Each structure stands twice: as C-alpha cells, then as structure tokens.
Amino acid sequence: MSQAFTRHRRLRKTAAIRSMVRETRLHRTDFIQPVFVTYGTNVKQEISSMPGVYNFSMDRIGEEIQEIVDLGIPAVMVFGVPETKDSVGSGAYSEQGIVQQAIRYIKEHYPQLVVIADTCLCEFTDHGHCGVVHAHEIDGHIHADVDNDESLELLAQTAVSQAQAGADIIAPSNMMDGFVYAIRAALDDAGFQDIPIMSYAVKYASAFYGPFREAAQSAPQFGDRKSYQMDPANVREALREAESDVQEGADMLMVKPSLAYMDVLRAVRENFDLPLVAYNVSGEYAMVKAAAQQGWIDERGIVTEMMLGFKRAGADMIITYFSKDVARWLREE
C-alpha cells in the first residue's frame, strides 16, 4: 500500500510545514500603490467605480502618502487629473503641471518613497488619446490617427519634466513605437542618465481600464486605442514589444492588465531577465470590490490569491489599488 500512491498531504499537515514548503510569498515591498492627484482644494473624492480609491487635491495628498509610507509600501505611481485639457496635452509637460507639483510635494516630504511617474498624454488631452491626433472622417465615422513621431517629442518632454520635478522612475504607458528610445535619449541629454525606465512594454487595448478612465477623466472622446495598444488575442507580439523595449534601453518591463494575461507574464518572464511588473488594473479592482460589497466573495482570500498568481506567473512587482490592503493584511499575519 505504501508504494501504491504518493502522499502529497504529508507536506500540508500543519501551518508550519506549509509555510516551509511555500514556493511564492508576498511581501509589502512587492507593491506599488497608484495615487490620483487633482486640482482644487480640500478634495478627497471617492471614484465611484473604485470604492476605497480617491482623487486628492494637492493640499490633502499628504494624508494618503503618509498612510502608504506607514504601511511600508516602497513606491507610488502618480496620476494627475488637470483642470484644463488641450489638443496637445500641454499639462503633461508643464513645470506647473499637476503631476509635477505632486511629485515635488511628495519628494520634499517623503524623500525615501520611490515616486514613479506615468508618462502619457491621455489625462491631459481634450480628445483623450495618448498622443497627438489627426482626426479624419471615413464613411461618416471619425478616425483618430495618433501621430507616432510627433507624439514622441511631447512624451520625451513629459518624461524630462517629470524627472526635473524629482521622479525616481519614468514609466511610459503611451504605446507609441520608439517611446523608450526617445525618452531614454531625452533623459540622458538632460542629465538624467541614472533615472530608470519602467516600460509599459506589453499593454493591451483592454476594457479593464474603464474605471481608471472615470478616475482620470481620460476616456477617448472618439475612436479607440486599438491602433496603438495591443490586441488581447496576441502573445507572440508581446515578446516582440518587449524585445524592442529591451533593445531601446528599458530597465524594467510591464504587462498590463494582469488577471486575464497570466500567460503573457509567464512568457515575458521566461524570455527576458529584466525585472517584471504586473499592473493589476482598475477594472480588475472594481470587479472584486463589487462582488465583495455584495457579500458574494471573500475579498481578502480572493485578493491574496490574485497577488500570489501574479508572482507565480513571474512578476517581481505588482502595481495594484489593493496595495494598502495587502500591506495591512501582511502586517496582521
């Protein structure tokens, strides 16, 4: 009998043994918390599709940052909601831009906290696209043609102004071809050779970004992002995207979204040695929150499994709106 089958349960017998054979662990330093900064004063406004996530005005962002620092989370990702937008996204690369102000504030008061700047134009353009748009009509439909090379110049300018404000890491999310190349060159020219680029190398045209676009008021006003973000059906293309970013000088690679793209995380992990980031996006957060509020799922259990899944698939770091929650739970363990 003893030879006939394998007793896997021997290693599951006690909590102590289970902890010794555990292959993947979560640590608070795996996590990056996104924060939203907006104009005005005394604003702490909950994003309706993202319970527990708020838009803060500059005078109140400190409350949120303090909490993040107290929980031992090492990094934040800063997103800005500007008061005014225009066709070329000037607010993205203005010295007085909302993100630049927020970065300066955070670095002044919390110098140890790693500040990651999302480099994109979509929160700052009135049309909501990630670059410069030339719109034209075909058969009564408006087509948004985002000019790649013109956009690169503005994105490079944005990255440099974020670095000048004090950003520790530049994270371009705009999906223009050559964005790592253009941003690396501009950063180097401006004397920021030591600022790493966390490239949103593999970013899909995903319905999972819906709640974020509510938060950042950045939904495209016409057309969609399918001519620059990736087709969710493709994984070989993800390797080509990652490859070109590595060649252009990316220091870290990201896959976004995460939940429906675990195979992509695994594929990128197996093909590249750079640190790998999973972005657990707004729609993934919203789904869990909504079900939890109904009492249909165990939020802590579900979130913990998701986070373990991202790490098991190959992620070294996770950008998630659950970062504070996870850090709190880890402290209780």
Residue 279 C-beta: closest distance to ligand PBG, Å:
7
Kindly name the residue from 85, 107, 203, 226 that is annotated as catalytic. Answer: 203
Find the residue with minimal CB distance to ligand PBG.
Answer: 212
- Rule CB under 6 A: choose which of 35, 81, 116, 120 binds ligand PBG: 120
Using the rule CB under 6 A, is 209 a contact of ligand PBG? yes
Using the rule CB under 6 A, is 143 a contact of ligand PBG? no
CA 287 vs. chain centroid, Å, equals 17
CA 3 vs. chain centroid, Å, equals 50
CA–CA separation, 111 vs 124, rounded Å? 27
- Rule CB under 6 A: choose which of 65, 115, 130, 286 binds ligand PBG: 130
Contact partners, residue 191, CB within 8 Å, separation at least 6 = none
Residue of 144, 147, 180, 146 lying closest to 252 (CA atoms): 180
- Rule CB under 6 A: choose which of 64, 118, 241, 325 binds ligand PBG: 118
> b/e map of 278-310 (b: 16 or more CB within 10 Å)?
bbbbbbbbbebbeebeeeebebeeebbebbebb
Say whether 236 counts as a known binding-site residue: no
Q: 117: which 2 tokens? A: 């700047």
Contact 168, 195 (CB under 8 A): yes
Amino acid present at 162: Q
Active site residue 324: no
Say whether 241 counts as a known binding-site residue: yes
Q: Which stretch binds ligand PBG (CB under 6 A): 14-22, 54-62, 118-126, 286-294?
A: 118-126
Residue of 142, 39, 148 lying closest to 83 (CA atoms): 39
Residue 16 C-beta: closest distance to ligand PBG, Å:
38
DSSP 245: H
Q: Which stretch binds ligand PBG (CB under 6 A): 59-67, 146-154, 206-214, 263-271?
A: 206-214
Using the rule CB under 6 A, is 322 a contact of ligand PBG? no
- Rule CB under 6 A: choose which of 55, 282, 325, 327 binds ligand PBG: 282
Backbone angles phi, psi at 5, to 5 degrees: -150, 165
- Rule CB under 6 A: choose which of 122, 144, 197, 238 binds ligand PBG: 122
Say whether 122 counts as a known binding-site residue: yes
Amino acid present at 126: D
Residues with active-site annotation: 203, 256
Interface with ligand PBG (CB under 6 A):
118, 120, 122, 130, 173, 209, 212-213, 281-282
